[in-house]
Homo-oligomer: A and B are copies of this chain.
Amino acid sequence: MDYIFELQMSVRDYECDIQGIVNNSVYQNYLEHTRHEYLRSIGLDFAALAREGVTPVVYRIEIDYKYPLKSGDSFVCKLRTEREGNLKIVFLQDIFRLSDNKLIVNAKVIAVVLKNGRPSRSDSFRM
């Protein structure tokens, strides 16, 4: 796949749960942080957008859990984007363990852009 952005991180022990593995909800934190860093990297200015009444929001998320990360693991989050109709932006995001490139999580995150509270053509969202 042709990823357009990637970000490396390491598991922090407080992210692990009783089973000694990263809690399911924490992957959503990793995925969000990667999306925000991507948007920052292409110069997207949330504050300026907000002043124009433009807000991107997550509409739907699908996550397949393939293999768990553990304390001490480092990993990379990779992403690419797609359009779905005029109103939706799809982020395809995968997480791989760094030591052996094992696929950990495979996610599809669908966002819509709200302008003054209503869905807006996502091309107003310059990506």
Contact = CB atoms under 8 A, between A and B. Distances in A.
A102 interface: no
Contact of A25 (B19, B25, B55, B60): B25
A16 B17 contact: yes
For chain A, give the interface size range: 20 to 34
A81 interface: no
Counting chain B CB atoms within 10 Å of each CB, the highest count among A14, A17, A55, A71 belongs to A14
Classify the secondary structure of A's interface with B: mixed
25 contacts: A12-B29, A13-B17, A13-B33, A13-B36, A14-B17, A14-B23, A14-B33, A16-B17, A17-B18, A18-B18, A18-B20, A23-B32, A24-B32, A24-B58, A24-B61, A25-B25, A57-B65, A57-B68, A59-B64, A59-B65, A60-B62, A60-B63, A60-B65, A61-B61, A61-B63
